[in-house]
């Protein structure tokens, strides 16, 4: 028996993504989805939830910190995704910390640990209440921005990751890189959250013959025979489309 057989790999429903992942994402894993601003993290993460609902009748939970649901909903309509409609039908659960909730959190920021617990407990409660198998946290950086004690964040994140594993809730944790456009594609840096994650997916802009291209790379996915290449992808009217056949070749 290979390692893969025990992983319970589930297809995401995003064609090229499943191909380069080597089948899909292992159930219950906490996976970091990283990249600079505008590269396509939110699009891929939301698409993961949408495909779960439409293809597998698998409801999901979206936790949004920066963009209010109304703004996300407006953008997603361009891809033909009706977030509000799916929410009303009970197929998509949403925790929107972007506006009012964030105000509460900032008031509570004097009690940093208490407020970190407040956020993580709300997420865990919602995962348990809804019984979802797919979770997106967009972005996870907010934890580091609001709560400065790195040790507390790591400890709490470790606890949450363990609970999500027990709940068999596969999580895409969006992480926005500070440098917008990765310059050294050969040496992508790892962050604290990466080391806690079972998997790391990197989205990046690359400058190829003076033209910016988007690329996706599976940096880490323990036990999976995933692609080791950087694959070009584009954002279309239907969301993200990955070119699995023509990985990017660098002449170095
Ligand atoms: N309908 C569309 N067709 C093509 N590209 C789009 C479309 N809608 C948005 N985009 C592109 O997607 C980008 C935003 O992607 P997003 O997933 O929000 O990035 P991130 O979350 O990484 O900041 C925009 O900057 C734009 O280039
Ligand atoms: Mg985003």
Average pLDDT of the residues in 178-203: 65
- Least trusted range by pLDDT, from 85-94, 140-149, 156-165: 140-149
User: What is the pLDDT, as a whole number, of residue 65?
Assistant: 87
Mean pLDDT calculated for residue range 143-166: 83
pLDDT above 70 for 113: no
β-pair type (92-96, 60-64): parallel
Q: What is the mean pLDDT of residues 152-164?
A: 90
For residue 252, tell me if it sits in a domain.
Answer: no
Q: Structural domain tally of the chain? A: 1
pLDDT > 70: percent of the chain: 82
Closest residue by Cα to atom 24, ligand 1, is: 38
The pLDDT confidence band at residue 186, using thresholds 50, 70 and 90, is: very low
Q: What's the predicted TM-score (pTM) here? A: 0.91
| 251 located within any domain | no
| Closest C-alpha residue for ligand 1 atom 13 | 38
> Does a structural domain hold residue 172?
yes
pLDDT at 191: 65
Q: What is the mean pLDDT of the chain?
A: 86
Predicted pLDDT of residue 220? 92
pLDDT > 90 fraction of the chain, expressed in percent and rounded: 64
CATH number at residue 113: 3.40.50.300
Ligand nearest to the CA of 64: 2
Number of H helices, E strands in the chain: 9, 11
pLDDT band at 4 (very low <50, low <70, confident <90, very high): low
* 3 state SS of 107: helix
Nearest-CA residue for ligand 1 atom 23 is 38
Give phi and psi for 181, each to the nearest 5.
-125, 105
Tracing tokens 């990046």 back to the chain, one arrives at 204
| Cα of 26 from ligand 1 centre, angstroms | 27
What distance in angstroms lies between residue 114's CA and the mean position of ligand 2's atoms?
Answer: 27
Query: Cβ(130)–Cβ(61) under 8 Å?
Result: yes
Is residue 101 situated within a structural domain? yes
- Ligand 1 atom closest to 174 (CA): 21
- The reported pLDDT for the residue numbered 240 is 98
Distance 46 CA to ligand 1 centre (A): 12
Residues with CB under 6 A from ligand 1: 35, 37-43, 78, 235-237
Specify which residues 220 forms β-bridges with. 200
Domain span holding position 83: 5-242
Q: Which atom of ligand 1 is nearest to the CA of 35?
A: 22
Which residues make beta-bridge pairs with 212? 207
SS3 letters for 31-63? EEEEECCCCCHHHHHHHHHHHHHHHHCCCEEEE
Examine residue 187 and state whether it is found in any structural domain, yes or no. yes
Local confidence band at 2 (pLDDT 50, 70, 90 cut-offs): very low
Q: What is the pLDDT of residues 9-64, one digit of tens each?
A: 999 999 999 999 999 999 999 999 999 999 999 999 999 999 999 999 999 999 99
pLDDT higher than threshold 50 for residue 195: yes
Distances, alpha carbon 106 to alpha carbons 120, 124, 141, in Å: 15, 20, 15
- Among the listed residues 232, 226, 225, the one whose alpha carbon sits nearest the alpha carbon of residue 247: 232
DSSP 223: T
Q: Which residue has the higher pLDDT, 144 or 203?
A: 203
Which residue lies with its CA nearest to atom 16 of ligand 1? 40
At 142 the pLDDT is 74
Residue 177 lies inside a defined structural domain of this protein = yes
More confident residue, 4 or 123: 123
247 found inside a domain: no
- Whether 249 maps to a domain, the answer reads no
């Amino acid at each position: 028996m290979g390692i893969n057989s025990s992983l319970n790999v589930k297809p995401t429903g995003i064609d090229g993504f499943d191909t380069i992942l080597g089948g899909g994402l292992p159930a219950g894993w906490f996976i970091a989805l990283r990249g600079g601003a505008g590269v396509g993290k939110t699009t891929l993460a939301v698409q993961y939830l949408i495909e779960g609902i439409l293809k597998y009748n698998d409801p999901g939970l979206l936790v949004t910190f920066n963009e209010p649901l109304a703004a996300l909903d407006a953008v997603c309509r361009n891809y033909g995704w009706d977030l509000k409609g799916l929410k009303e039908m009970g197929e998509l659960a949403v925790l929107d910390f972007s506006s009012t909730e964030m105000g509460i959190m900032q008031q509570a920021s004097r009690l940093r640990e208490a407020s970190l617990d407040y956020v993580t407990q709300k997420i865990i409660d919602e995962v348990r209440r809804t019984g979802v198998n797919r979770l997106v946290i967009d972005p996870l950086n907010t934890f580091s921005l609001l709560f400065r004690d790195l040790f507390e964040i790591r400890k709490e994140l470790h606890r949450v990751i363990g609970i999500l594993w027990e709940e068999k809730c596969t999580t895409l944790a969006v992480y926005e890189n500070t440098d917008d456009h990765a310059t050294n594609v050969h040496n992508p840096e790892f962050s604290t959250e990466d080391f806690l994650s079972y998997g790391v997916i990197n989205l990046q802009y690359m400058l190829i013959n003076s033209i910016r291209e988007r690329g996706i790379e599976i940096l880490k996915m323990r036990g999976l025979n995933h692609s080791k290449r950087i694959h070009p992808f584009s954002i279309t009217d239907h969301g993200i489309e990955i070119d699995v056949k023509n990985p990017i070749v660098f002449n170095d």
